Structure 1
Amino acid sequence: MAEIKHDFLTWPWQRWAAERPSDIAISLGDKEHDVQTYTWADVSSNVDDYAQGLVEQGVKRDQLVAVIADNSIQVLWLMLAIFRVGARYVGLNPKLSSSELQQQLVILDNDYIWSDSEHDLTALTGQNIVLQLPTVARMVPVTWQEHRPMTLTLTSGSSGLPKAVVHNAESHLASASGLLSQMTFTAKDSWLLSLPLFHISGLAIVWRWLYRGACLVIVEKEQQQQALHWVTHASLVPTQLQRLLDSIDNTATPSSMMLKQVLLGGAHIPVTLTDKAHSAGISCWCGYGMTEMASTISAKQANDSSGVGNVLPNRELLLRDGEILVRGKSLCLGYYRNHTIFSILDNHGHDGEWFATKDMGEWHDDELFIHGRADNMFISGGENVQPEDIEAVLLQYPEIEQAVVLPIDDYDFGQRPVAILKTTCPMDAVFIDHVMTYMADKVAAFKRPIRYLALPDGDIYQGIKLSRTKLANWLSKQ
């Protein structure tokens, strides 16, 4: 499928409102039942109205608005209205404690804040705003400029300290067009907003919707599993897809579901799962991406190879001493600190145009394979150990759903690996003994975990990903 340039000369929703005003742009449920929908004309009108409401509350160009909320139509209106007035949007995880949110807001030094949760906004940084219609309808004067910074997304490095990654519309649209040059998504299709808008994967769904002028489906979290039966596209983790396939009645036929394409991420993807999805008429895609590159960098239709496919259009990738370097139109503007955007490019040596990802990889048969993070590697008995290599083997074991391998200090070896697991059965002595026997046949002795622990409950996530830093702190207390 050939790449299609967007060439937006105005705000994307205004373009679609002019070309296809009566087409459904947003659905808050199953379009075939009596649910609320919005046409592109509605979207354009509502965004302008809410943008004027922000102007009346004093929001100005280049100011930063922090939004603390789960996905909803209100958050979407607010985000698009923030873009419309030339301000900048940053989403924060509503599950964080007030002290954690305050820490992030101090770093951001945001101008305004909005939340739909029970957090006490008076104790948080930023002037409160409300989502309201204007008292007098007027035209918002800010015009479409794809080079203006629009979004900040918090991502965490090995230190655990959040970095605010800045993107403009150009990088978001370049990311969308590159993926959709390979993955079919038309104006007649619908994509479920299944990932949070404080994460780059959630933002990527919105920009794919804007790029194609398709339909965006927004439902409550409790309805998302049901919504997978009547959307055409979704971004999921393997367990969500497994639950969907398990829910299909034995008498159902593939035509009873509208779902056609799934972009998988976040965990090991079993071939048996993607094969079963294919039998149900669902094409599964997997790949490699990061916040700094506005989501997906490489992708492919899932198969029995553990690789992550080929580099998508609008991106470039090279390996330097095994480390992955990237650049291209989807690369972010930089990191935001002290009201300034600082470049993330490698200015030391070579041509100074590449972003060093700290991810390690290699090419095999024109396909990229990821080995893990350079800053996760440790040395055991003089041997380099990449935790992700061990995790990949553990995830092949049928009853293991999640696996994180971390080092602990050892007098003789320097450091030894410990495996922290989430399993579908009790982690008793018999189970651990079976896993140890399995690992003895699969990996070298210096890579075998010396302890197996159950994944703890509590705050162990950074955004939507397991936090190695938080798990390491927990492990140090065991």
Structure 2
Amino acid sequence: MAEIKHDFLTWPWQRWAAERPSDVAISLGEQTKESQTYTWAEVSTQVDEFAQGLVEQGVKRDQLVAVIADNTIDVVWLILAIIRIGARYVGLNPKLSFAEIQQQLAMLDNHYLWSDRDIATEQLTGQVITLRQPEVSRMVPVTWQEHRPVTLTLTSGSTGSPKAVVHSPESHLASASGLLSKMTFNAEDSWLLSLPLFHISGLAILWRWLYRGACLVIVEKALQQQALSWVTHASLVPTQLQRLLDQVPTQQPIALKQVLLGGAHIPVSLTDKARSAGIDCWCGYGMTEMASTISVKQADESQGVGNVLPNRELFLREGEILVRGKSLCLGYYRNHTIFSILDNHEHDGEWFATKDMGEWRDDELFIHGRADNMFISGGENVQPEDIEAVLLQLPGVEQAFVLPVDDYDFGQRPVAIVQTSCPFDAMFVDHVMTYMAETVAPYKRPVRYLALPEADIYRGIKVSRTKLAEWLAKQ
């Protein structure tokens, strides 16, 4: 395993406050005289004050603080203040129903709760706290401990109930350092906080910022597309990048230099256009348990996900991907205890079995899908992701999901649910059916095509296959 060690001997924001106190650390808009910014010295002071404010409200080491909110500067202050006093942060998706929030908090059994919205907190687990200045100003005594549990992240739960994944500063920083050994991100650069902090992808942005000591840009969601014209780095889905390139005149220079793409099929035409505008596009493979990215590459015509990053190891056992390394989580949190997720395997000790299926091809990793998504149709193993990959090659198809439905003769048959940028009508379906008949084996051809609904089918920022299957059962 290639290893890149960090050299932090104190909290990252305290280091940058000592080394570069007047550098801008956080910007709440484009860096002009009118926009609000915070230097590293101001960040360090604010975090200490908010941390003491939490202590005065009773928050102690190892206690769990749940946060229900969209991305704001207050949430960033909370996260840093929580881990500053040795407590633990867990974010919940504010778009969940009240019943779902109740269920997740009951599972977590959190000690404290903070929310920026009007909800019946008296019916939720945890004592309500506020983000406030301390009544007595003094330094919080908790020192830097890189192995200490600091964040819990609920998995997207695309195939079942979410798990609470526990990470330490070491695993977060190992994730950041490995990625940034390939993807250039300097102290003079800025990264847009474009992904939610209740998701590992959002937390990964936060820790890359802390690792490099660069500038974190926080703007409300309605202004994020506009912000892409003046930040240097962003984590996006392809449609966001496409909108930016469509809006910016060809000859107009833009600040954006590096984009980490995810969440959907990435058209080569899009990355070529971005490259012409001076933007390098990256894609890869990652998961919550490994603190985000595991492998990465500059996006190209290949459907592979690149090579394994430093601080990670990857091994294939009968096609299943096993991982470990410094970015691996401490375990799953349950009943106030952290349980290891490692299993002993004959290949050199303990590994985490991801349930993702893959292969090495020409020194590049290719992902085939999840083992628990596979179903049998007429005696043949069907991997839905294989069919989805073919559908995503069609012009106009933006997202594709294949699920099984029961069938008397075959046991199960595939059904395709797609999101399109063109009209989803009989002519489109006929075109897709003709294409699939020419492209895939008969047992892989969907027997029905449906448009992706606008119903509640999301878990976190991903479409939940479980919720999609529930919706399909009603059709």
Q: Establish whether TM, by shorter chain, passes 0.5.
A: yes
Paired with 2:349 and 2:115, the residues of 1 have a C-alpha distance of 40
- Could you tell me which amino acid in structure 1 is paired with residue 333 of structure 2? Y
Task: Determine what percentage of the aligned residue pairs are the same residue.
Answer: 81
Which letter maps to 1:342?
F
Cα distance in 1 for partners of 2:37, 2:376 equals 56
The answer for the alignment partner of 1:365 in structure 2 is: 362
* RMSD, aligned CA: 1.2
Does the residue aligned with 2:344 lie in a helix, a strand or coil?
coil
| Kept in 2: contact 1:379–1:415 (CA 8 A) | yes
| 2:4–2:310 Cα contact (<8 Å) kept | no
CA deviation profile, 1:38-59 (whole Å, cap 9, x unmatched): 0000000000000000000000
The C-alpha deviation readout for 1:77-136, integer Å capped at 9, x for no partner, is: 011000001000000000011110000000000000000012221111100000000011
Deviation at 1:159, TM superposition (A): 4.8
Structure 1, residues 360-411: CA drift from partner, whole Å, max 9, x if none?
0000110000000000011111111110011111111111111110000111
CA distance in 2 between partners of 1:423 and 1:233 (Å): 28
Q: Is 1:355 aligned with 2:352?
A: yes
Q: CA–CA distance in 2 between the matches of 1:159 and 1:392?
A: 19
Asked if 1:285 is matched to 2:282, the reply is yes
Gaps of 5+ in 1: none
What residue in structure 1 maps to residue 261 of structure 2? 264
Which residue number in structure 2 is paired with residue 187 of structure 1? 187
Query: 2:284 is matched by which residue type in structure 1?
Result: G
Letter in 1 for 2:98: S
2:465 match: 468
Q: 1:317 aligns with which of 314, 318, 338?
A: 314
For 1:101, the equivalent position in structure 2 comes to: 101
Give per-residue Cα distances to partners, 1:289-342, cap 9 Å, x unaligned.
000000000000011111000000000001000000000000000000000000
Give distance in 2, aligned partners of 1:159 and 1:317: 23
- Within-5 A mapping of 1:74-473: 74-157=74-157, 159-250=159-250, 252-253=251-252, 256-347=253-344, 350-473=347-470
SS at match of 2:155: strand
TM-score (norm 1): 0.98
2:93 maps to a residue whose letter is N
Aligned-residue offset at 1:441:
1.4
The aligned length equals 474
Secondary structure in 2 aligned to 1:419? strand
SS at match of 1:242: helix
Task: Give the residue type in structure 2 aligned to 1:438.
Answer: Y
Helix, strand or coil at the partner of 1:354: strand
CA contact (8 A) 1:113 1:128 kept: yes
Aligned letter for 1:327? R
State the Cα distance separating 1:240 from its structure 2 match. Answer: 0.6
Amino acid at match of 1:168: S
Cα displacement (A) at 1:157: 4.4
**Would the alpha carbon gap of residues 103 and 349 (structure 1) be closer, same or farther in structure 2, given more than 3 Å must change?**
farther
* Kept after mapping to 2: 8 A contact 1:28/1:218: yes
Give the equivalent residue in structure 2 for 1:49.
49
Structure 2: tracts of 5 or more residues without a match: none
Instruction: State TM-score, norm by structure 2.
Output: 0.98
Residues 341 and 241 of structure 1, relative CA distance in 2, 3 Å threshold: same
CA distance in 2 between partners of 1:4 and 1:372 (Å): 29
Structure-2 separation of matches of 1:172 and 1:59: 23
Secondary structure of 1:177 counterpart: helix
Comparing 436-445 and 50-59, the one that deviates more: 436-445
Amino acid at match of 1:477: K
Any idea what the Cα deviations from partners look like across 1:193-219, whole Å, max 9, x if unmatched? 000000000000000000000000000
Amino acid at match of 1:265: G
Which residue of structure 1 aligns with residue 36 of structure 2?
36
Q: Distance in 2 between matches of 1:33 and 1:119?
A: 37
**1:5-35 deviations in whole A, cap 9, x for unaligned?**
3211011000000000000000000013510
Aligned residue for 2:150, secondary structure, equals strand
Note if contact 2:275-2:281 (Cα within 8 Å) is conserved in structure 1: yes
SS across alignment from 1:133: coil
Letter in 2 for 1:303: D
1:427 CA drift (Å): 1.5
Q: Which amino acid aligns with 2:139?
A: M
Over 6 Å off, 4+ runs: none
**Larger deviation, residues 27-36 vs 283-292:** 27-36
SS in 2 for 1:67: strand
Q: 1:265 to 1:466 in 2, by over 3 A?
A: same
Change (3 A) 1:94 1:51: same
Q: Distance in 1 between matches of 2:366 and 2:33?
A: 44
In 2, Cα distance between the equivalents of 1:137 and 1:343?
39
Amino acid at match of 1:340: T
Does the CA contact (< 8 Å) of 1:3 and 1:181 recur in 2? no
CA distance in 1 between counterparts of 2:284 and 2:346 reads 29
Aligned 8 A contact 2:159 2:464 in 1? no
C-alpha distance in 1 between matches for 2:288 and 2:68 = 19
Q: Structure 2 CA distance, aligned partners of 1:184 and 1:348?
A: 36
Q: 1:33 to 1:395 in 2, by over 3 A?
A: farther
Q: 1: distance between equivalents of 2:79 and 2:405?
A: 43
Tell me if structure 2 keeps the 8 A contact 1:52–1:137: yes
Q: CA deviation at 1:458?
A: 2.0
